[in-house]
Structure 1
Amino acid sequence: MTDPGARPPGGSHAVVLGGSLAGLCAAAALAPHVDRVTLVERDRYPDAPRWRRGVPQARHTHNLLGAGQRSLELLLPGLLDDLRDLGMVEVRMPQDMLLLVAGGWVDRFDSRHTVLSGSRDLLDWAVRRRLRELPAVEFREETEAVGLVAGHGDSVRGVLLRDRDSSARTGWGEPYEHEADLVVDATGRGSRAPAWLQNLGHQAPEETVVDAGCAYATCVFEPPPGHTADWKCVLLQSTPEEPRSGILNPIENDRWMVSVAGLGGERPPLDHAGFVDFAKRLRSTVLYDAIRDAKPLGEVYGSGRTENRRRHYERLTRWPDRFLVLGDAVGAFNPAYGQGISVAGMSALVLRRALERAGTRGTGRIPAGLTGPLRKGIARCVDAAWMLSGNADLAYPGAADGPLPLAARLGKRYTDRLLKVATTDRTVATALFDMTHLLAPPQVVLRPRVLASVLRGPRTATPASASPPTAPSPGPAAGARLPEERP
């Protein structure tokens, strides 16, 4: 059966599978360049900023890093102002943060790095609201993809869909063909693209997995009465020797979203008393001191699927034209590093730039041969994040099969030293933040000035047991301007 509304007469049509942020970003990238974009989502969207089943990590803490802010603003101009107006909180890094890295407390100083902090429900809703204003984008909810439709030669010409049907035994109706000139898979960690490729006679991609056994628990709090502090955010990172972490983020409506995590298989408790007690056993008690008298505003939610997993589609020698995979379906990361949204946005910009170069706007067509070369550009976006999350998690016992290769061991030694130097050296800290925010390639931490400081070694760092540093004295700030997009 074929869907009669699948293709507009004489116009180009793209289908994006998955309506979370990676799919929303892909739709925003496509909308100016094709006549019609159909966004296919398995759930029904809530009509307000509320949690939905298809985004399990939405119950947990999110930071919108620099590259994520830049990408979303380029894709949907004015969105960052919308997010601030809706209550997301701008946190300057490190001056508004108590930041404990493996090497100790990071000095607080004025810098251009900021994160936007708020609930994932609010962020997703704000992006959906913007997309619904675009005439080229249509939402098809309670619909899921079950396969690809082979086209002429080595290509696809659409996707097999099925709609939710409460009267059916399986809860789903019969599959039907939905024709498209381009199919983008943004269905996340659970993507079935490897099996779909095999069904078309292609190979499944190789996978790399690094799993530090990280498990989360999160609760939203109302700050205690009379709370005052010179910080907005607390971030206590883990180490292999002390494998527990915690973060306190300000979110909309004057609330705190607090997440704690155990690595190596430890799972934080899911009751309020146990949650607060777990926070007391982090590397510093500063987060515990903040929440011990705070009022919990809901349940404690847990999450345990946090492995770093990447699928190497860029290594396949054959690829079906008019099919593309991006977002967590290509590279999924330990959420502790907050990189997934940024990589999704960066990958969508790779797609947008390719469409701009192809001159598709107003032509009514998507050229053949577009998607194959894009796999390497998307892989580079994943590489930038993997250098931090995947490599950092390799330090935890059992995260990878067998002993670490020599390059990984040398990289770990350099990173350990860098994290000590960054606590007191602002140039090194700035390079670290550039890499963390994905605003510069990982090689930024090997630039001559940074390399010299790291090799020279740290000045006396403030250990985790000491009081955290105070905020810098008021003065002219460096500003929060993001670097211009690199071509």
Structure 2
Amino acid sequence: MNDQVGDHAVVLGAGMSGLLTARVLADSFARVTVVDRDELIGVREPRKGVPQGRQVHGLQPRGGEILEELFPGFTEETVALGAQLQDTVNDAHWHFNGRRLSKAPSTMATVAAGRPFLEWYVRGRVEALANVTFLERHDVVGLDTTPDRSRIAGVRVQPHGEETATEPGALPADLVVDATGRGSRTPVWLEEFGYPKVPEERARIGLGYATRHYRTRPDSTHDGRTLVVVASAEQPRGAVCTRIEGDRFVLTAYGILGDHPPTDPAGFDAFLKSLAVPVVAEFAQSAEPLDDPVAYRFPVSLRRRYEHMERFPVGLLVVGDGVCSFNPTYAQGMTVAALGALTLRRHLLRGSLPRARDFFRDLARDAVAPSWEAMNLNDLAFPGVEGERTLKIRVAHAYVALVQKAAIRDPKVAEAFIRVVSLMSGPESLMRPGMLLRVLRHTRA
């Protein structure tokens, strides 16, 4: 354990962000308690508290690197348990604007697995830490503060479903970290304590998606590679299909601005046939469906700008989707949560409670802002999405289109582009002289 920062830390929420937060807190606090309303221990199925858990989830290569750092052996152990280790470029058929990107062996690998499986594995690793305790099937009903409301002193919890039968119990804490996600109550609690309203940014996307699981038949000719058909301005429908644990495939289809895939099997299949390329529909027709499609809606991307708060109580932080909830089609949520855990660890290594304003500033700069800006840039490529198309954005759209065209012919460009998509490199890497020349050489006609 590093130099101890405090005696007790409490994490609200046991999703991926909460689990990673508990992992880094365990190095700096004598005790860590994770509170969640769901049953947790040993659960491998989708949880009620994670309604999107059945949908496809992507752990980007950068996220996998961080999980390997926090949980040594993560990759080897999850693969041994059935997860799939894939070369992000060579083991996937990426389709942009109806054309498949060139592929060749790359240096990027990702663990493909279902969200419930990943949470189960990470939760087991966190549970094995001697100073971490899970308080499952409990609701958080409020925060306790000092009389002047300048410091959070702990949380009040209650057994789930017993609101009228049981008085809330107190959990004193030196630090409370809210990892409850998009529905975080922290903005409401702060206003009740007399703090200003948390500034917010919203980006309406009107996304809807539906997921179905499959198993390939004995006579299948599918090569097992991930299939990705990315929605475009000309065809704002997309899908992703990837192999996961249990020798199954998870297939998610999506559409924006209200154009959502149906959940009846026939309607779902018809939606797949409408995609820009037929590869996903062909897979679905050749495979054995294991369930009916399940839908999820995501109307608005949301960013809470805690770094702009002039006042904030000591002893409270917010992480994960409670800070920023991204358009999920870019599969960046879990990886951004992992980046946030590294930010928290850097602040804890200073040997004292993180200062909220400094933490939120670094979280925004190092984890949230790059993905938020890239998401907005991509979303604004769709004419129906509201937002200002500045000259900078229009130029970026034009250049990304050139990169995608060049990536059809040049594996080096394809890898560089997927490195940006996978959060392994920043967008500026696509503007380096050598890459710029490759792009122009392949698109000058």
TM range (shorter): over 0.9
Shift of 1:311: 0.8
2:325 paired residue number = 332
Counterpart selection for 1:161 from 157, 163, 168: 157
1:67 paired residue number = 62
Shift of 1:332: 1.0
2:149/2:193 contact within 8 Å kept: no
Shift of 1:306: 5.3
Say yes or no: does 1:389 pair with 2:375.
yes
Say yes or no: does 1:36 pair with 2:31.
yes
2:402 paired residue number = 417
Task: Write out aligned runs for 1:182-201 (5 A).
Answer: 182-201=175-194
Which letter does structure 2 place at the counterpart of 1:162?
Answer: Q
Q: Return the TM-score normalized by structure 2.
A: 0.93
Identity %: 35
Say yes or no: does 1:347 pair with 2:340.
yes
Distance 1:279 1:369, change over 3 A: closer
1:297 paired residue number = 290
Which letter does structure 2 place at the counterpart of 1:242?
Answer: Q
Task: Write out aligned runs for 1:10-25 (5 A).
Answer: 12-25=7-20
Q: CA separation in 2, counterparts of 1:260 and 1:369?
A: 41
Q: CA separation in 2, counterparts of 1:165 and 1:200?
A: 26
2:343/2:362 contact within 8 Å kept: yes
Q: CA separation in 1, counterparts of 2:244 and 2:324?
A: 27
Q: What do the CA deviations read for 1:206-225 (whole angstroms, capped 9, x no partner)? A: 21222222110100011123
Distance 1:155 1:414, change over 3 A: farther
Counterpart selection for 2:278 from 264, 280, 285: 285
Determine helix, strand or coil for the equivalent of 1:52. Answer: coil
Larger strand fraction of residues: 2
Determine helix, strand or coil for the equivalent of 1:55. Answer: coil
Task: Write out aligned runs for 1:368-379 (5 A).
Answer: 368=353, 370-379=355-364
2:136 paired residue number = 141
Range with bigger deviation, 230-239 or 30-39: 230-239
Q: What do the CA deviations read for 1:318-340 (whole angstroms, capped 9, x no partner)? A: 22222111101111111111110
Q: CA separation in 2, counterparts of 1:56 and 1:66?
A: 24
Q: CA separation in 2, counterparts of 1:21 and 1:394?
A: 29
Q: CA separation in 1, counterparts of 2:373 and 2:435?
A: 17
Task: Write out aligned runs for 1:22-421 (5 A).
Answer: 22-45=17-40, 47-102=42-97, 104-151=99-146, 154-166=150-162, 168-169=163-164, 173-305=166-298, 307-358=300-351, 367-368=352-353, 370-380=355-365, 381-401=367-387, 403-421=388-406
1:421/1:459 contact within 8 Å kept: no
Shift of 1:92: 1.1
Q: CA separation in 2, counterparts of 1:351 and 1:80?
A: 23
Q: Return the TM-score normalized by structure 1.
A: 0.85
Determine helix, strand or coil for the equivalent of 2:363. Answer: helix
Distance 1:64 1:280, change over 3 A: same
1:321/1:372 contact within 8 Å kept: no
Q: CA separation in 2, counterparts of 1:153 and 1:214?
A: 39
Shift of 1:456: 5.1
2:347/2:354 contact within 8 Å kept: no
RMSD between aligned residues:
2.1
Shift of 1:369: 5.1
2:98/2:276 contact within 8 Å kept: no
Determine helix, strand or coil for the equivalent of 1:307. Answer: strand
2:210/2:253 contact within 8 Å kept: yes
5+ residue gaps, structure 1 = 1-9, 359-366, 461-487
Q: CA separation in 2, counterparts of 1:459 and 1:88?
A: 42
Shift of 1:102: 3.1
Say yes or no: does 1:450 pair with 2:445.
no
